[in-house]
Amino acid sequence: MAAGRSLAALVCVALVPLMTFAQPSGNPPVASASTDPASSSSSAVPGAVLNLPDAPVPNGPQSTAQTQTQTQSSSSQQTQNNDKNQQPQSGNAPTLGDLGFTPQQTLANAEMQKRLNERTHDLKMHQTFGLITAVPMCAAVLVAGGAKSKKNRSNPNGTVTGPSSSGVDLHVALGSTTALLYGVTAYYAIAAPKIPGVKPKGAIKWHRDLVWIHAPGMVLTPILGAMALNQENNGERVHGIASAHSYVAWTTIAAYGVSIVAVSWPIHLKFWEKK
Amino acid sequence: MKFAAVLLLAVAPVMLHAQNQWVLTQSTLTWNVTHPMHEVAGTSHAAKGKGNCSAGQCDFLIAVPVNTFDSGDSNRDLHTLEVVRGAQFPMVIVRTHLAQAALNQPIIDADLEVQFAGQTAHYAHVPLHGTSHGTDVEITGTVPATCSDFKIDRPSFLTVPIRNEIPVTVDATWKPE
């Protein structure tokens, strides 16, 4: 009798693993790429039938995208989308809620997305105007010679020849355009929404730090230029702080150029090589 | 004897259950972006994951907040967050369903479901390499993601967009619970 009980107990013990494995795993895995062509590239799933647990959004990614478009400004709707991720996929499959993320990490933030979109828009404008600004800036430097008074080199004691009015006008026009475009460029950088908690890191730090050189330079250069022109018009040799006009201008251009390169750094130098 | 049998009956399911759960202990996920003038990688170590196995089948889930990827440039990371709609869809979620026996293979042929940027993409037959470190298993591999899979507008530099391919390399260490 005792042996029979022992045998029964052992049989029970032997059956327990089978009973445990026999637990249903919820919905059978049915998701397949073929029913969901919009979400996957042909290279990703070449007609393969996948063996995956239920997708969290039964209507497929296309509808997710539509929902996203329809509810871009509705954070509550997005939260519902997010809640779908928290729902169990099947009886056995772990859920997002099992992983221990904080709600701040998992919940959609429509306001933040809006800020990011605005930020990108403003910084794209900043980039575009910044590159456009470089054109009149370089042109102003190229025509700077025409705005300078010239000495007669064969006779150092001779009279100083004043710059042609067209040369001065062109230089002033290009300089003024540069300053105007620079102002618009700066406006978009300043107006771009700041994202709280993000400290500048990497190449952008150089880009921002160089502002302390080219921004004062962009203010000083036209002032010194006007002073120099005034002195030339009075028949004086350019002297005093006005004589620093070209040095300040060159420093400004150098800082501006480095700033453009810095924000694009690191540049893959062998970019012409195709992989 | 009777007591021992009852005890075994009570404890066996718990033991079996414990042996069939996996938890992600360490991970490195890296997206790679290529542009004619730039090659950039963004890395996150913030993934969390869990795997449940029963009846010889396993379901794994890995999730990582999009904003934890770091490319070394805060400006680029914020722009990335914007283009992948990272505030609206803050998590990358990867699910896979495997036969339990596959976990002991050196190369696991995985079918992955990836939710990212409000889209879901499926990647079939992704080869993942498994290496045992004691009881832990390190899984490495590359998910052949593309921008178009997730309807991401490719960012451009000097009017040239990045390449469509944004392969994500995975190095994840799993521990049985």
Look up the ipTM and state it: 0.82
Q: What pLDDT was estimated at residue B1?
A: 53
Per-residue pLDDT band for B157 (boundaries 50, 70, 90) equals confident
Is the pTM for the entire model greater than 0.80? no
| B9 token code pair | 């009956």
Chain A residue numbers touching B57 (CB-CB < 8 A): 25, 92
B16-52 as b/e: b if 16+ CB within 10 A: beeebbbbbeebebbbbbbbbbbbbebbbebbbbbbb
Instruction: Report the number of distinct structural domains present in chain B.
Output: 1
Chain B residue numbers touching A60 (CB-CB < 8 A): 120
B5 within domain boundaries: no
Q: What is the pLDDT averaged over residues B69-79?
A: 93
B142 within domain boundaries: yes
- Mean residue pLDDT of chain B comes to 89
Establish, for the pair of chains A and B, how many residue pairs have beta carbons separated by less than 8 Å. Answer: 234
pLDDT tens across B42-56, in order?
999 999 999 999 888
Write the DSSP symbol of residue A158: S
Per-residue pLDDT band for B161 (boundaries 50, 70, 90) equals very high
Q: What pLDDT was estimated at residue A269?
A: 63
Highest mean pLDDT among A76-80, B55-59, B147-151: B147-151
Cβ atoms of residues A131 and A260 within 8 Å:
yes
Crossing angle of helices A110-142 and A165-191, in 10° steps, is 170
Q: What pLDDT was estimated at residue A5?
A: 53
Q: What pLDDT was estimated at residue A150?
A: 65
B18 pLDDT higher than 50: no
A94 and B60 within 8 Å at the Cβ level: the answer is: yes
Q: What pLDDT was estimated at residue B12?
A: 46
CA-based nearest residue to B75, from A206, A225, A217: A206
Asked if A59 has any chain B CB less than 8 Å from its own CB, the reply is no
d(CA A30, CA A28): 6
Provide the chain B residues 15-74 that lie in CB contact (below 8 A) with chain A: 16-17, 34-39, 48-57, 59-61, 63, 65, 71-74
**So where are chain A's domains?**
112-142+165-264
B48 within domain boundaries: yes
B56 within domain boundaries: yes
Where helices occur in A49-109 by DSSP H, the ranges are 60-70, 75-86, 103-106
Residues (pLDDT < 70) of chain A are 1-91, 149-163, 269-275
Of A33, A99, A203, the CB nearest to B48: A99
A23 and B83 within 8 Å at the Cβ level: the answer is: no
pLDDT tens across B87-114, in order?
999 999 999 999 988 888 899 999 999 9
Higher pLDDT, B134 or B2: B134
Q: What pLDDT was estimated at residue B124?
A: 95
d(CA B137, CA B44): 19
Q: List, in order, residues 6 or more apart from B123 with CB less than 8 Å away.
A: A40, A44, A45, B111, B112, B114, B143, B144, B145
Q: What pLDDT was estimated at residue A47?
A: 34
Q: What pLDDT was estimated at residue A6?
A: 53
Q: List, in order, residues 6 or more apart from A158 with CB less than 8 Å away.
A: A151, A152
Q: Domain range spanning residue B148?
A: 21-176
Q: What pLDDT was estimated at residue A233?
A: 84
Phi–psi pair at B125, nearest 5 degrees: 55, 50
B70 pLDDT higher than 70: yes
The CATH number given to whatever domain includes residue B145 is: 2.40.128.110
Q: What pLDDT was estimated at residue A162?
A: 63
Q: What pLDDT was estimated at residue A153?
A: 61
Asked if A97 has any chain B CB less than 8 Å from its own CB, the reply is no
Chain B residue numbers touching A109 (CB-CB < 8 A): 87-88, 90
Asked if A123 has any chain B CB less than 8 Å from its own CB, the reply is yes
Per-residue pLDDT band for B177 (boundaries 50, 70, 90) equals confident
